Amino acid sequence: MAGSSFGTVFRITTWGESHGKALGVVIDGCPAGLPLEEADIQRYLDRRRPGTSSITTPRKEEDAVEILSGVFEGLTTGTPISLMVKNTSQISRDYSEIAAVYRPGHADYTFDKKYGFRDYRGGGRSSGRETVGRVAAGAIACKILERLGIFVCAYTRSIGPIQADMSRFDRAFILSSPTAMPDPEASMAAMAYLEETRHNTDSAGGCMECIVEGLPAGIGDPVFEKLDANLAKAVMSIGAVKAVEIGDGSLVSQRKGSENNDGFRAEDGRVTKTSNHAGGILGGISDGDILVVRAHVKPTPSIFLTQQTITRDMENTQINIKGRHDPIIVPRAVVVMECMTALTVLDAMMINMPAKLESLEQFYGKK
Amino acid sequence: MAGSSFGTVFRITTWGESHGKALGVVIDGCPAGLPLEEADIQRYLDRRRPGTSSITTPRKEEDAVEILSGVFEGLTTGTPISLMVKNTSQISRDYSEIAAVYRPGHADYTFDKKYGFRDYRGGGRSSGRETVGRVAAGAIACKILERLGIFVCAYTRSIGPIQADMSRFDRAFILSSPTAMPDPEASMAAMAYLEETRHNTDSAGGCMECIVEGLPAGIGDPVFEKLDANLAKAVMSIGAVKAVEIGDGSLVSQRKGSENNDGFRAEDGRVTKTSNHAGGILGGISDGDILVVRAHVKPTPSIFLTQQTITRDMENTQINIKGRHDPIIVPRAVVVMECMTALTVLDAMMINMPAKLESLEQFYGKK
Amino acid sequence: MAGSSFGTVFRITTWGESHGKALGVVIDGCPAGLPLEEADIQRYLDRRRPGTSSITTPRKEEDAVEILSGVFEGLTTGTPISLMVKNTSQISRDYSEIAAVYRPGHADYTFDKKYGFRDYRGGGRSSGRETVGRVAAGAIACKILERLGIFVCAYTRSIGPIQADMSRFDRAFILSSPTAMPDPEASMAAMAYLEETRHNTDSAGGCMECIVEGLPAGIGDPVFEKLDANLAKAVMSIGAVKAVEIGDGSLVSQRKGSENNDGFRAEDGRVTKTSNHAGGILGGISDGDILVVRAHVKPTPSIFLTQQTITRDMENTQINIKGRHDPIIVPRAVVVMECMTALTVLDAMMINMPAKLESLEQFYGKK
Amino acid sequence: MAGSSFGTVFRITTWGESHGKALGVVIDGCPAGLPLEEADIQRYLDRRRPGTSSITTPRKEEDAVEILSGVFEGLTTGTPISLMVKNTSQISRDYSEIAAVYRPGHADYTFDKKYGFRDYRGGGRSSGRETVGRVAAGAIACKILERLGIFVCAYTRSIGPIQADMSRFDRAFILSSPTAMPDPEASMAAMAYLEETRHNTDSAGGCMECIVEGLPAGIGDPVFEKLDANLAKAVMSIGAVKAVEIGDGSLVSQRKGSENNDGFRAEDGRVTKTSNHAGGILGGISDGDILVVRAHVKPTPSIFLTQQTITRDMENTQINIKGRHDPIIVPRAVVVMECMTALTVLDAMMINMPAKLESLEQFYGKK
């Protein structure tokens, strides 16, 4: 089925495979009048690009974005924005083994079961390169949110056993850090851990977190279109994510109610909370506090150790994956999480506009 | 926005508030020809009913379901099935405090911010009673899945610090246990823990798990309609859930790739895996193994301890919640998780039918 | 598939069969704060009720609507509004012939081919009674539109060869007329025509028209969600409609451009047009002029003349339909067309709110 | 809102403006395993290309399609197919008048009201060039349908007052005819009529028809997703269409039931009808007979006669449109109608697969 679209009023549709001619996204429903140029998007794409340190693949992905439609004289027109990134650096190599054998932890086997065959070059549509479209679209969502005073920020919370100490949170460091951690000390320890992991031809998992500041209360719809439900879908749809948490997340299952409830407090006409265990969402609707989402990411499945597996012809065999792979997925996935969060929040805000009859009447003029 | 529908081809729409006249659900897209009677649905509704032990509210909810449409001579007709449960036992009481003061951990404040006011009687639409519709619909999804040899089973994994020991897994015990735990020993310990919690006028969190057995490989769609993404949305949409995990979930972030990958093995023409850390999903598509989903549920926010909060008029105040409330949400939410999982899996299976051109050609006859 | 829902942000889901226990609708996404009581809806349902004249079936349909959810203290809450009408007057009769033989012009054969069998009592889900839910929901849409100064009005344009003369347009007459024509003279002629048709045990077709006054310019979305495209779907989905026209409709195919274009004119800061051949829509978007939609409705397929047909077992046979049937569908379908138009327009208006970035910024406050 | 997507399981998303860098479409949900190459699509695009006769604009549109994703080793993979056509021949000219003045019959005014401004070059998104994406996607739908023995064929039914005589129906002539009429004699007369129209610097309307042969009974969903309702939306969404008819269409409103009903007949185990006034659809579901859809298309609004209009600044003015324009829209829109019909029918067929429980059980294997 059509599974490459996300969002209702602000909707994106991504396309493209790892080794096809190009990848891209169509953003439909973007409000008219937003100043937009390629540099706005390129800035985000550069954050998911590898080749910047020892822990990302040295493969050079230029990922230069091109705006093909939807922008006129520097402003979005309200009609679909088509963005394309050409695949320029995909090396022609021998895929005969990957074509015949299912790599553990990858989607090779499940794609074959679903579709009968697959584009096996570099993982095809199940490759991490699929996220190029998400990030290009998310850059636009982030730009709109910023104009509304809403800031989305994702970072690495932990790598293997190394946790970021949030008391050392340094926002500026996130973008310059090879680990995307906000804590310089933890980042250094994580780099050492990853070096060792790579030396052992193994890979490491990690945890990433995204916060949203400035979000007004009242966003999200009860029951099935809860803001946290849509965030869970958005974030779980990122390849390799195996758990999603809101606020204190899995910790709540061992808590007492008296420990977990956040009291409300009024100060100078503003509402605050005595704590934010809820992560800014109550009953699926934003409460005006900081939104907190977390995702646990599995280790890169491509490792160089010998692994038990089967061939397409159902023969048992062993595989030794070759090539160069990141020893960890998280640092490059952080910007993807930021973008998926921004897309979810913006769509919910646009949908929310007619929630009160009063708003509809003010907009169109009560008669 | 319209947020009370779930699913694409097999779609449900729930309605009703805690203290309204009735609650219900419309199931649209149910295949024609399924034998269906009220008893099939009542069996599931009875599992979410309180009043069966010391840890659930003694409030008597009869929750007798009525089939209003979509069934003819005992078979579903393919047209919408409307199910209704009348609210019969909602006691008329004084809601003046709840109307004026925001309860911590509840959706009172966020509903007011979104809609301008709210039905405050018993939580209105944000009450746990909203799940009546989900469970009634899920009962039908479960019945269809069983005919396809697919079995969905949810249970309590932990209550506060008490973990079920899965080596003592007793499936039959789940339905008879007041805790919905599959481990009789842990269940007994959990009951003692809850008794103490209640004695302290506090509440407890817990964790629930759902497994799906018999699911074929190939279900779920890449990118945004991944099976795990839709399960995450489905489960996170249940009130009080703050984290969703697939397979080994949050543990993967501390793993090495060599520990986390599941090898494939072929035996007698069948594919198995050397382990199931992935929880039955690779690249968003089922791999034929057992599906494993887990949800962490916060403690009941209604506690009898004095809490800091504000009034509708933005005055600081303190609240002492009265009435009778379950000291824990999990045991009654287990059947809701089972139903949301079944709805997600069935819809994905129906959508998957034309994934291969070959299937379409076989169905309609290639010319 | 789930085919009983209509709309995106303001979405309705109808259910129920002709001879089931009840029929109803769930309205999801209705803005909060609308005063609503059963009488608001009953007024519309009464317009589709038969038994008021010689040209409608004398069968007594009380169709008393009940609000089951979504309204609190007289106001809509923003959560789903469930409306139900019990089937009280369905006479138990012998359906053995209808069960075994396919009636020409009805959906008996196609339902059997799709679902394998059908609820044959009174047409089941394909009965005109299905429109009860549409009308109940449309009454709410109309009420909201009226508060925005937008008025939707449908009427009969022609019955058989008898055309209403629009120069005699009498709005008040529509509701009191048995034909729903706005022209008393034509109505009288049409009554005579229908009397003769009934005398010949035959039935008659007709044409209905709907206008929308007060609609602002800018409603509807380019390409596939054009306002006229969605109106065409909405109106064609009404049983027995075989053609839909916007503005001058089918006449345009014989026109010259110089005859068909509507010039723009500015007067006192307001835009008017020199004519309205376009029916108020240009490029799929409303132009601020009166919206005009027309539908051609086939004659009632249930006639008492002997007809050639087949049995379920594929035997050729002849059928003589018994019972009492309206000799024409149009007068009772007029309110259905009004309601479908209102639902389409309101949903498009709600969706349109964030079309300009400026609107989003004003709503949420630019920072 | 996101209005550039069409379809549920087989879904397309188009993008691009008349004078942007490129136009294109993403086809999502295409079954895996279809042989597909650019020539399959180019063949359809060539049919909507102008410059082939005196009645189409001499502007040279090469419209060479490029497949950017979703095809591997000549077969569709089940993942999104991205198609792009570069805009190569858009002449840089002076758009200052068009930018400042609203052309009658065009979407200039309504786009400005909706979005605050517009891309005025060549009509921007509201240009007929928008249909490039529809046709490219429709070519794929047609190819799949043909493999199922289903053939979609559209043609011109009338131009101005000149009607095709269907007794002279010559299918092969449609593709070679400059009018896309199936009747060579009428086509010649129509050419003369158009020559005269052009000579008078005016334009002409016309009617186009589309038939579908080989469609099985049972396709389409009751109530709102009726096959005819979705066809009406699909066809009305084509620019300049002002009326849509199914089967005998608007004629039915003047018919008697005895004239309009189609009898069923069984012959050698096959069901036929004694006539096909219904156009192959009963109750919104296909009946196995030939599907007949018709669309009335307004005259090209760009005419060279002086017209009354207003400027963006609300000043009354007159406009003399310059440039070269087709004197009629129909011949080039015929392939668009064929494609929209194919897309609608294919999506409905894919959605229909699990309508019977029996089908689901056969597909997945009843246990």
| Tens digits of residue pLDDT in B140-174 | 999 999 999 999 999 999 999 999 999 999 999 99
D118–A contact, CB cutoff 8 A:
yes
Chain C residue with the nearest C-alpha to that of B112: C77
Q: Is C105 on the interface with A (CB under 8 A)?
A: no
Residue spans of beta strands (DSSP E) within chain B? 5-6, 11-16, 22-28, 65-67, 71-72, 75-76, 81-86, 151-159, 162-163, 206-213, 241-246, 264-267, 270-273, 281-282, 285-286, 291-297, 307-310, 316-319
What is the structure's pLDDT at B325? 83
Q: What is the pLDDT of residue A54?
A: 62
* Pairing state between β A11-16 and A22-28: antiparallel
Buried residues in B151-167 as b, exposed as e (16+ CB within 10 A): bbbbbbbbbbebbbeee
SS3 assignment, position D308: strand
Closest by alpha carbon to D76, among D136, D42, D35?
D35
pLDDT average, residue stretch C31-60: 82
Q: Is the CB of C303 less than 8 angstroms away from the CB of D261? A: yes
Determine the residue of chain B that is closest to C19 in CA distance. B69
Out of A149, A360, A364, name the one closest to residue C367 (CB): A149
| Share above pLDDT 90 across residues of chain D, in percent, rounded to a whole number | 88
In this structure, the number of other CB atoms found within 10 A of the CB of residue A112 comes to 17
Checking if the pLDDT of B25 tops 80, the result is yes
The pLDDT confidence band at residue D325, using thresholds 50, 70 and 90, is confident
Q: How far is B318 from chain A (nearest CA, A)?
A: 9
Which one of A157, A162, A233 would you mutate to disrupt binding with B, by most B Cβ within 10 Å of its Cβ?
Answer: A233
Helix (H) or strand (E) run with residue B366 in it? none
Interface probe with D: pick from A9, A11, A13, most Cβ of D within 10 Å: A13
For residue A91, pLDDT over 90 is answered with no
Q: What is the pLDDT of residue B96?
A: 79
C-beta separation of A33 from A98 below 8 A: no
Which among C350, C357, C365 has the least Cβ separation from residue A31?
C357
- Measured between CB atoms, does B347 come within 8 Å of chain C? no
Q: Which residues of D touch B284 (CB under 8 A)?
A: none
Contact call for A354 and C356, based on CB within 8 A: no
Per-residue confidence (pLDDT) for residue D57, from 0 to 100: 58
Residues 6+ positions from D226 with CB-CB distance below 8 Å: C3, C236, C237, D220, D281, D283, D284, D285
Domain B5-346 class in CATH = alpha beta
pLDDT tens-place string over residues B317-360: 999 988 778 899 999 999 999 999 999 999 999 999 999 999 99
Q: Is the pLDDT of residue C167 over 90?
A: yes
Contacts of B338 (CB under 8 A, 6+ apart): B138, B142, B152, B153, B154, B210
Query: Within an 8 Å CB–CB cutoff, is residue B183 touching chain C?
Result: no
- Of A239, A20, A3, the residue nearest A120 (C-alpha): A20
Nearest CA in chain C to A364: C148
Contact C82 B24 (CB under 8 A): yes
How confident is the model at residue D94, as a pLDDT?
73
**pLDDT tens, C111-128?**
999 999 999 998 899 999
D67-106 pLDDT, tens digit per residue, is: 999 999 999 999 999 999 999 876 667 787 789 999 999 9
The CB-based long-range contact list for D263-266 (8 Å cut-off, 24+ gap) reads D263/C104, D263/C307, D263/C308, D263/C309, D264/C102, D264/C104, D264/C109, D264/C308, D264/C309, D264/C310, D265/C308, D265/C310, D265/C316, D266/C310, D266/C314, D266/C315, D266/C316
Burial of C310 (0-12, 13-18, 19+ CB in 10 A): buried
Which pLDDT band holds residue B259 (cuts at 50, 70, 90)? Answer: very high
Q: To the nearest 10°, report the CA torsion of B278, B284, B287, B289.
A: 50
Q: What does the pLDDT look like over A273-302, one tens digit per residue?
A: 999 999 999 999 999 999 999 999 999 999
**Model pLDDT, residue B307:** 96
Is C251 an interface residue toward A (CB < 8 Å)? no
CB-nearest partner of D261 from C125, C228, C307: C307
In chain B, residues with a C-beta closer than 8 Å to the C-beta of A130 are 222-223
Question: Exposed/middle/buried for D313, CB within 10 Å: 0-12, 13-18, 19+?
Answer: exposed
Q: Count Cβ–Cβ pairs < 8 Å, chain A vs chain B.
A: 388
Q: Does D286 touch chain B (CB under 8 A)?
A: no
CB D363 within 8 A of CB B219: no
Write the pLDDT tens digit of every residue in C192-248.
999 999 999 999 999 999 999 999 999 999 999 999 999 999 999 999 999 999 999
What is the per-residue pLDDT across B114-123, written as a single tens digit (0 to 9) for each? 999 999 998 8
- Please report the sign of the dihedral spanned by the C-alpha atoms of residue A37, residue A42, residue A43, residue A45: positive
Residue B171 near residue B154 (C-beta atoms within 8 A)? no
The residues in D 121-160 lying below 8 A from A, measured between CB atoms, are 121, 124-125
Interface test with C, best of A5, A350, A358 (most C CBs within 10 A): A350
Q: How far apart are CA A227 and CA B95, in angstroms?
A: 28
Partners for D (CB, 8 Å, 3+ pairs)? A, B, C
pLDDT value, residue A202: 96
Q: Output the pLDDT for position C169.
A: 97
Which tokens belong to B74? 């005992």
Q: Which of A38-42, A318-322, B313-317, D278-282 has the lowest mean pLDDT?
A: A318-322
Arithmetic mean of pLDDT, A225-247: 98
Q: Does A5 touch chain D (CB under 8 A)?
A: yes
For A270-339, the DSSP string reads: EEEES--TTTTEETTEE-SS-EEEEEEEPPPS--SS-EEEEBTTS-EEEE---S---SBSHHHHHHHHHH
pLDDT tens-digit map of A176-188: 999 999 999 999 9
Subunit contact D285:C110, Cβ cutoff 8 A? yes
Contact D130, D239 (CB under 8 A): yes
What pLDDT digit, counting tens, does each position of C301-351 carry?
Answer: 999 999 999 999 999 999 998 877 889 999 999 999 999 999 999 999 999
Given pLDDT bands bounded at 50, 70 and 90, which one contains residue C97? Answer: confident
Distance in angstroms (rounded) separating the CA atoms of residues A26 and A135:
12
C-alpha distance from B161 to closest chain A C-alpha (Å): 6
Mean pLDDT score of chain A: 94
Min distance B340 CA to chain C CA atoms (Å): 17
- Give the closest residue to A139 by CA, choosing from A225, A57, A25: A25
Give A-chain residues touching B321 at CB under 8 angstroms. Answer: none
Contact call for D367 and B79, based on CB within 8 A: no
Higher pLDDT, B88 or D299: D299
Q: For residue range A337-358, what is the model confidence (pLDDT) as tens digits? A: 999 999 999 999 999 999 999 9
pLDDT category at C103 given cuts 50, 70, 90 is very high
Burial class (CB in 10 A: 0-12, 13-18, 19+), A46: middle
d(CA A340, CA B229): 12
Q: How far apart are CA A307 and CA A317, in angstroms?
A: 9
Query: Which residue in chain A has the smallest CA separation from B256?
Result: A204
Position A322 scores a pLDDT of 83
- Whether the full predicted model's pTM is greater than 0.90, yes or no, is yes
Q: What pLDDT is stored for residue D48 in this prediction?
A: 86
For residue B367, list chain D residues with Cβ-Cβ distance below 8 A. 147-149, 214
- The answer to whether A361 contacts chain C (CB < 8 Å) is yes
Mean local confidence (pLDDT), D304-329:
92
The beta-carbon neighbor of B357 closest among D32, D216, D356 is D32
Mean pLDDT of chain B: 94
User: What confidence score (pLDDT) does residue A128 get?
Assistant: 93
**How many Å lie between the alpha carbon of D334 and the closest alpha carbon of chain B?**
26
Residue B204 dihedral angles phi and psi, to the nearest 5°: -130, 150
pLDDT in the model for residue B49: 77
pLDDT in tens, A149-181: 999 999 999 999 999 999 999 999 999 999 999
Give the helix ranges, DSSP H, for chain B. Answer: 38-47, 96-100, 108-115, 131-147, 171-176, 184-199, 227-236, 257-260, 330-352, 357-364
With a cut of 70, say whether residue C91 has pLDDT above it: no
